[in-house]
Structure 1
Amino acid sequence: MSDAPTRPYEALLLLSFGGPEGPEDVVPFLENVTRGRGIPRERLAEVGQHYFRFGGVSPINAQNRVLLDALRKDLAEQGIDLPVYWGNRNWAPYLVDTLRELAADGHRRVLVLATSAYANYSGCRQYRENLAAALTQLREEGAPGAAGLRLDKLRHFYNHPGFVRPMVDHTLAALAELPEGVRDGARLAFTTHSIPSALADTSGAPGDPARGRPGGAYVAQHLETARLVAEAVAEATGVAGRPWELVYQSRSGSPQTPWLEPDIGDHLAAVHAAGAPAVVMVPIGFVSDHMEVVYDLDTQAKEQAEALGLPVSRARTVGADPRFAAAVRDLVLERAASARGERPERCALGALGPSHDLCPTDCCPAARSALPAAAGEDWKDQP
């Protein structure tokens, strides 16, 4: 075993959203998610009904444990001695506790894999704000080793082959689940989390080729992933010109605030009315089959499709696919080589190229905050 390929990094942190693991966790978890918004507990209990429908357990933590094992297995099989830790934004294991453990174990320079592939506030900058807040807390506590802890977030991986190719195979498998008579005419609905239009417009960073104009990287990157998957599916099936769209799900904001549309439910109704024979839902915006996938797609969307008489199937997410674990290793080695002053190959499919390593100070701002954001920069001076 050798740590040489990963120098100067000493550990990898898997950073995720977190989720409840029992009925008693649901409301406290939602309080963490909505902290600072003044939402009463009784309202949170209403919002949490879809968790209670599944016994109060979100699949996300279990799936992160599987991904954690896959990352460790892949690194070990390649002879790479890099310990992998796991911390969450909203539930145990909490990020601050994991960073305390990392520092106590003697690690000082750490790579961070956030379980979000695209540029946007909640999937990138907010995680960087969480990292900065946790570091500040540990340093104010005087936690051993915290003063020297540096965290570098891995780049966006939406167009890495290890993320795209598993989704191609999963889409083909979902097509095969449809009745043979509608399979060739089935449309592809690529789904992702809807976000406020204002945050979508400010996503991305100066110099990021995904922008093409100020902001807009969130939608542009999803469209690129969808195109890459759709073209590979067309080649594999021999069905050219299969219609596909990028649609949205899981909206949770005020009805007065513009969010990205169309919603998956509205889309299913529209394509059914237009005569579509079937739809395959492909959740490209999610790394794992967590609650927003199993409830919003497998439950709500499928129930709506059944009521319409529209055949649908749903492609699995990337999850702990060995190709995705290998892609993470690739990103780790790439970033380590860059940190050593080398010029590694940066793997990416399509026209947009690999994303940036360091996010500029004005990258993906939030409408309601301007907090310090860690991940490679001198974050103390960040707005």
Structure 2
Amino acid sequence: MRPYDAFLLISFGGPEGEDEVIPFLENVTRGRNIPRERLAEVGEHYFRFGGVSPINQQCRDLIAAITTDFAESGIDLPIYWGNRFWAPMLQDTLARMHKDGVRRVLAVPTSAYCNWSSRTAYVEDIARARAALGEDAPDVDLVRPFYDHPGFVEPLVDHTRAALEALTDEQREGARLLFSAHSIPTAMAEAGGGPELGFGSQGPYGDQLAEVARLVVERLDRDHPYELVYQSRSGPPSQPWLEPDVNDRIEELAAEGVPAVVVVPHGFVSDHMEVKFDLDVEARETAERLGMGYQRALSPGTHPAFVAMVTDLVREYTGAADSQCLAALPRCAECTCDR
């Protein structure tokens, strides 16, 4: 048994007004020498939506759903929320937890996969926040990557099926499923473990993404051709990033005569700004310009199975339930959890 005093949801954070957009982006890019004009360019994505990122409200909605599920499941843990880059900041939340007498914390990130930005960066941010509080800071256990938990896969299956049904019969017959995730530098993708640990050339991140796509498709009512694409690249052109880009691939598929695409944002937990802009705006515009049918599946969000997954993870880490994993991939070097 590993007793905990509290549950903590850790997310990315986002602005909730136009005056917060640039300061938020400065937090995200601090120390990376990003030109001011590039921040302004990215800021336009947020200004298009009134300067409000959906992610904070999505966290509030998820916390409300988790609170209900905890109560129904007999889990008596207070729930806290801290962000990496915008209020409520993780360090402030840990300080409040310390003041409340919390000593042992189980944390779930809004990131399902294993790579530096979606796993190690969270671990490092937790360490910095604890160091700032000193020796009496609460201990924090971060749950394992949950990309292959049934509670993550099942919502993607339901939402992919709904997106396919939204196409016309003719479009559905020849549609291509594009499973989309955030691109990262290839060096970062490979850093979590290469062939010597049992992973392919794109490292554990690429292998995990490919495995989730396979798990989703095998659970659909019929076979559909599918492939993995990437989005949201932000590095310099000289730096190799994971490819193909979703827009480039849509262009190629249109030239091949594919009548429609369904984009499944399986690399994400919720429909935050990179989903709303990169897929609902840019990718949709690309498909429509080429005369292709286009549908975008929802991310897990507050799907009941995803909410129940959080409860299952708490049970797993308190010794009340076994680990649920659909995949048989090896443990990546970034991951310190038991598989």
TM-score (norm 1): 0.84
- The answer on 1:60 being equivalent to 2:55 is yes
Separation in 1, partners of 2:211, 2:168: 29
Separation in 2, partners of 1:158, 1:71: 19
The CA deviation at 1:40 is 4.3
- The answer on 1:228 being equivalent to 2:223 is no
The CA deviation at 1:213 is 6.2
2:106 is matched with which residue: 101, 107, 111? 111
**2:175 corresponding residue in structure 1:** 186
CA deviation profile, 1:339-366 (whole Å, cap 9, x unmatched)? xxx8x5211113338x6xxx8xx638xx
- Whichever residue aligns with residue 321 of structure 1, its letter is H
Change (3 A) 1:148 1:58: closer
* Matched position secondary structure for 1:173: helix
Q: How does 1:166-177 map to 2 (within 5 A)?
A: 166-177=155-166
Q: For the Cα contact (< 8 Å) 2:2–2:317, is it kept in 1?
A: no
- Whichever residue aligns with residue 80 of structure 2, its letter is Y
More displaced 10-residue stretch of structure 1: 320-329 or 18-27: 320-329
The CA deviation at 1:184 is 2.3
Aligned length: 337
* Matched position secondary structure for 2:136: helix
- Whichever residue aligns with residue 363 of structure 1, its letter is E
- Whichever residue aligns with residue 305 of structure 2, its letter is R
2:151 is matched with which residue: 154, 158, 162? 162
Separation in 2, partners of 1:327, 1:314: 23
**1:363 corresponding residue in structure 2:** 334
CA deviation profile, 1:303-331 (whole Å, cap 9, x unmatched)? 01000001010000000112111111111
- The answer on 1:70 being equivalent to 2:65 is yes
- Whichever residue aligns with residue 210 of structure 2, its letter is L
Q: For the Cα contact (< 8 Å) 1:116–1:123, is it kept in 2?
A: yes
CA deviation profile, 1:144-167 (whole Å, cap 9, x unmatched)? xx6152110001111111110111
Separation in 1, partners of 2:251, 2:149: 33
Q: How does 1:156-305 map to 2 (within 5 A)?
A: 156-204=145-193, 211-212=198-199, 216-233=203-220, 236=221, 239-240=222-223, 242-305=224-287
Q: For the Cα contact (< 8 Å) 1:15–1:113, is it kept in 2?
A: yes
1:95 is matched with which residue: 77, 90, 101? 90
Change (3 A) 1:219 1:40: closer
- The answer on 1:25 being equivalent to 2:20 is yes
Separation in 1, partners of 2:183, 2:261: 19
* Matched position secondary structure for 2:240: coil
CA-based RMSD of the aligned residues comes to 2.1
Q: For the Cα contact (< 8 Å) 2:131–2:137, is it kept in 1?
A: no
Change (3 A) 1:155 1:186: same
Change (3 A) 1:12 1:227: same
Q: For the Cα contact (< 8 Å) 1:10–1:110, is it kept in 2?
A: yes
Separation in 1, partners of 2:194, 2:71: 35
Change (3 A) 1:276 1:206: closer
Separation in 1, partners of 2:265, 2:325: 20
CA deviation profile, 1:252-309 (whole Å, cap 9, x unmatched)? 0111000000000011011111111211000000000000001000000000100000
The CA deviation at 1:203 is 2.1
Q: For the Cα contact (< 8 Å) 2:200–2:207, is it kept in 1?
A: no
**1:380 corresponding residue in structure 2:** none
What is the percent sequence identity of the aligned residues? 56
Q: For the Cα contact (< 8 Å) 1:203–1:215, is it kept in 2?
A: no
Change (3 A) 1:206 1:61: farther
Q: For the Cα contact (< 8 Å) 2:107–2:140, is it kept in 1?
A: yes
* Matched position secondary structure for 1:251: coil
The CA deviation at 1:206 is 11
The CA deviation at 1:243 is 1.0
CA deviation profile, 1:160-211 (whole Å, cap 9, x unmatched)? 1111011101000000111122212211000000000000011259997xx4
Name stretches of at least 5 consecutive residues in structure 2 with no aligned partner. none
Separation in 2, partners of 1:46, 1:183: 36
**1:36 corresponding residue in structure 2:** 31
More displaced 10-residue stretch of structure 1: 177-186 or 302-311: 177-186
- The answer on 1:352 being equivalent to 2:334 is no
Name stretches of at least 5 consecutive residues in structure 1 with no aligned partner. 1-5, 140-145, 365-374, 377-383
Separation in 2, partners of 1:346, 1:329: 12
Q: For the Cα contact (< 8 Å) 1:27–1:41, is it kept in 2?
A: no
Separation in 2, partners of 1:212, 1:28: 38
